[in-house]
Structure 1
Amino acid sequence: MPVTAESIAKAKELDAYALGVSAYLWGYPLVRMERIVREYIDVKGPQPGTSYRAPLNRIGWATELATPSAKDMPAANNDTLYMSAVVTLTEPYVLSVPDTDGRYYVVNVFTMYHEDEQDIGRRVTGTKAGRFAIVPPGWKGKLPEGVQRIDVSTDKVWLWGRLHIRDGEPSGPVRALQAKFDLRPLGQLENATYAAQPAELPPLPDIAGDDLGFFTHLGFAMRHNPILPRDAALAGQLERIGLTRNGFDRTKLSPEQVAALKRALADGAVVASAAVSTTAKKVGSWDSTIIDGYGFNYPLRAVHSGPYLGGNMAQEAYYPSTYLDSQGEPLTGANKYELRFAKAPPVDAFWSATLYNADDKMLVDNPINRYKVGSETPGLKTNPDGSISVPIQHDEPAGAGKSNWLPASKGNFFLVLRFYQPRKELLSGAYPLPTLTKTQ
């Protein structure tokens, strides 16, 4: 083909578009994490009991289960109290955990790429007291005896935890247990008077009015986080659109390249959004996704760091969900439904079915303040054949059905099943997921 000014401009535009989509899919978790960790360490004024925010390098615990008024996180569970700690690893930080006496808990160690590189808790490390050192890249020191080493690939991490609390259980002993979780630098491990000093993260660049603001934030994230060895070649390619380890420089981009990057931002979001549907499979009316890592599936990693931020890997907790009944019709409070489990789900911890508004993904306010039904529901009835029937409707059912009643909103809603420490029958599909049928 003859090389002309027009063909060169077209080539740059196409190249910028392709690289822009790749940059979005690869870099979205970095940008998302840089943004969200600043939200989670922003503690101004009194916090509600459902808040898990805390200053940098400190642990924040929710002391109350999520309710319809808790707006910090969509589709929050109503099974566990959340924990959050954003940590800058200037040296190894030691997380000391108490003996929970069998009580379920998990602390995910997320890198700034939103990759869960280690789980600390009942399934992996047990529930005895322990000490775990989160070690930054390149650290060569020696840890004290009895401290377990956890190497991570970025020098900032997000510790995201969950601690089980049962319906109606007194909160006092659980809060006392929370207070025994401790986080401190390795050098302060034996300092009985240690208190975390105030610390801050550098502010993100102001992108108000910046139509390529995402790339500005991605350049910032690339400057403040290591490029993983497996991504070095991809990061090198991004230099052609002004993205380097020194940030984002748009000054050398042509108007065609700028236009292409704008298109890439819109289309990259579409590719990421489709990742769940392309990796999920339908099991009856349920969307079932078994996630045990991302590899090079950057679209899936991107979408999980967005609306599914902080989600467990399937071995820890398995989350089938649905907006539809068994006939493929949208779930709505105008109808009545039965959720029927053939038998109790095979889990090594506990399970629940939680209902959310379809529009805002928040829990549904109801007269009995019940937002889920599961193995921990007081008075849960099992049928003589071992099955479990859960009426789902807006109005309270008559008779024996109300003991298992899951109140619905007036409008559209969706359901999330949560199986904590699922057994292999669940993950393999040998155990059938429950049916969800319209009864009226």
Structure 2
Amino acid sequence: AADAYVYGYPLVAGLTMVQRFADGGMGTLPAAPFNHFSHATRLAGPGDQFVSVNNDTIYSIAQLDLSEGPQVLHVPDAADAYYVLQFIGAWTDNVAYLGRRATGTDAQTWLLVPPDWHGTPPDPSRVIEMPTTVGTVVGRFACTGPGDLHRVRALQEGLRLEPLERGGLVAGLPEPDPDVPERLAFFERLRVWMQAFPPATPDVEYQRRFAPLGLLDDGVSPYRATAPEWTLALAKGLAAGRERVEDATRPPEDHPPGAWRSSLHLFDYNLDHLGPGTLDDPEWRIPDRRAAYLSRAAAARAGLWGNHAYEASYATTYDDSEGHPLNGAHTYTLRFDQPPPVEAFWSVTMYSVPDYYLVENPIDRYSIGDRTPGLVHDEDGSLTLTLRHDQPDDPTAAANWLPTPPGEFRPIIRLYQPKAPVLDGSYQVPPIHRID
């Protein structure tokens, strides 16, 4: 049961979010039916309760349902401005990228096809094959602030989906049995959605080992009325699996004090569906499939729908330079002697622990980086950021202030289109120093 939780958590977490977007939206992203884009109208804030949501780009998100056939995607000319469209299967595999790094910023038209589609595409070189009939497109458009919203909205309006052929019916997500007790609801969702959205072929054999749990049962749910000892065993397995996933999101015991934990290869669990814009290279594949299951679960827990590092690199830290947990009761500095090496831009975003959400603050600043107006650099060109809960009295510290939650926090640094020193690990983010 614990193994089943680790294996199936990404499917359940991802599709739960798919349903949430389709039914009610999230924050500034309104609800939208399958195969229609939902466009945010501002940068994400505390109301957008999505794990590790970014505050650098305006989101445009579409939930795909290709059960009735392909969809045609039209992408406008972005005039060399940074954007990325990320294509994600039901098991949270990143299967394709379009955008500045991957395909350029000219206007483009692509055909999105379901698994094993045998039709004739209008342009065979512009096809993205999704590994499951349901998936997600996450669009991120760089936005410097309110004054840049007009440009981004024009790009959003040019982003659209339409069916290749007449029709438009969608199957959506199959409904788990509502009579299953909440204690076993995870297994019921996994059972139903695993049948509807089969995994990659090499995963099928591993999945068969879960037959004794009822996860491969057809028809009536085996979880509606279960023997108490069996229910207890499943519940214990869920708890053990959940703890494994939580452990995988924490820094290792031998982590140097204050060192940022890079997630360069956290999203390398996709071993089977590498389409346009991905790098089909051993460097970007986790060689051990069992290890990939845990990495996939940790990624879904701490950064659902995040990018491969070659598109955008992330690093996190929970501790200061002395190894003590970061906490809003104290004041910290983060000094960059040189700007992080990127082709596009970089930022540091602040999150609460353990939810990894943005937290409201009086100046409405949730990230800080090279596009933040009014930053004050030192005479030698270096940049010192101040991290604390209350606004600093010193004008320079206030200009470079990234507010923290009152309790424990975890920042993420994002490097968009990172350069080689980031990807080969030779660039290290400087540690955070406590100064009070």
With structure 2 as the length reference, what TM-score do the two structures score?
Answer: 0.86
| Deviation for aligned residue 1:199 | 7.0
Post-superposition Cα deviations, 1:124-181, rounded to whole Å, max 9, x if no partner, equal 1111111121211111111113861111211111111211110342422221211100
* Structure 1 gap segments, 5+ residues each: 1-19, 189-193
Equivalent pairs, count = 411
Report the aligned-residue RMSD: 2.7
For 1:433, the equivalent position in structure 2 comes to: 429
CA distance in 2, matches of 1:253, 1:276: 32
1:26 paired residue among 7, 23, 31: 7
Which deviates the most, 406-415 or 89-98? 406-415
- Label 1:185 to 1:397 Cα distance change in 2 as closer, same or farther (>3 A): same
For 2:121, the equivalent position in structure 1 comes to: 143
2:211 paired residue among 239, 245, 258: 239
Post-superposition Cα deviations, 1:207-260, rounded to whole Å, max 9, x if no partner, equal 552532222111111221124210121222222332226265359987654443
**2:373 paired with 1:399:** no
CA distance in 2, matches of 1:38, 1:387: 45
For 1:72, the equivalent position in structure 2 comes to: 49
- Label 1:119 to 1:232 Cα distance change in 2 as closer, same or farther (>3 A): same
| Deviation for aligned residue 1:118 | 0.9
| Deviation for aligned residue 1:306 | 2.7
| Deviation for aligned residue 1:187 | 2.1
State the structure with more CA Rg.
1
* Structure 2 gap segments, 5+ residues each: 270-285
CA distance in 2, matches of 1:134, 1:214: 30
- Label 1:373 to 1:304 Cα distance change in 2 as closer, same or farther (>3 A): same
| Deviation for aligned residue 1:436 | 1.2
Which deviates the most, 392-401 or 103-112? 392-401
Secondary structure, counterpart of 1:161 in structure 2: strand
**2:37 paired with 1:59:** yes
What pairs up with 1:216-227 in 2 under 5 angstroms? Answer: 216-227=188-199
State the one-letter code of the partner of 2:344: A
CA distance in 1, matches of 2:252, 2:157: 39
What pairs up with 1:160-179 in 2 under 5 angstroms? Answer: 160-179=138-157
CA distance in 2, matches of 1:251, 1:367: 48
CA distance in 2, matches of 1:322, 1:407: 16
2:417 paired residue among 412, 416, 421: 421
State the one-letter code of the partner of 1:311: G
| Deviation for aligned residue 1:395 | 2.1
Which deviates the most, 119-128 or 353-362? 353-362
Secondary structure, counterpart of 1:211 in structure 2: helix
For 2:23, the equivalent position in structure 1 comes to: 42
**2:358 paired with 1:358:** no
Secondary structure, counterpart of 2:126 in structure 1: strand
Secondary structure, counterpart of 2:111 in structure 1: strand
- Label 1:392 to 1:111 Cα distance change in 2 as closer, same or farther (>3 A): same
Secondary structure, counterpart of 2:362 in structure 1: coil
State the one-letter code of the partner of 1:415: P
For 2:282, the equivalent position in structure 1 comes to: none
2:260/2:316 contact within 8 Å kept: yes
Secondary structure, counterpart of 2:6 in structure 1: helix
**2:248 paired with 1:275:** yes
State the one-letter code of the partner of 2:235: K
What pairs up with 1:104-183 in 2 under 5 angstroms? Answer: 104-145=82-123, 148-183=126-161
| Deviation for aligned residue 1:400 | 3.0
CA distance in 1, matches of 2:217, 2:104: 40
1:373 paired residue among 355, 368, 372: 368
Which deviates the most, 352-361 or 316-325? 352-361
With structure 1 as the length reference, what TM-score do the two structures score?
Answer: 0.85
CA distance in 1, matches of 2:253, 2:391: 33
| Deviation for aligned residue 1:64 | 0.7
CA distance in 2, matches of 1:23, 1:250: 15
CA distance in 2, matches of 1:345, 1:427: 12
CA distance in 2, matches of 1:359, 1:223: 32
| Deviation for aligned residue 1:412 | 3.1
CA distance in 2, matches of 1:36, 1:266: 21
2:29/2:40 contact within 8 Å kept: yes
Secondary structure, counterpart of 2:206 in structure 1: helix
- Label 1:211 to 1:146 Cα distance change in 2 as closer, same or farther (>3 A): closer
CA distance in 1, matches of 2:164, 2:259: 49
- Label 1:277 to 1:401 Cα distance change in 2 as closer, same or farther (>3 A): closer
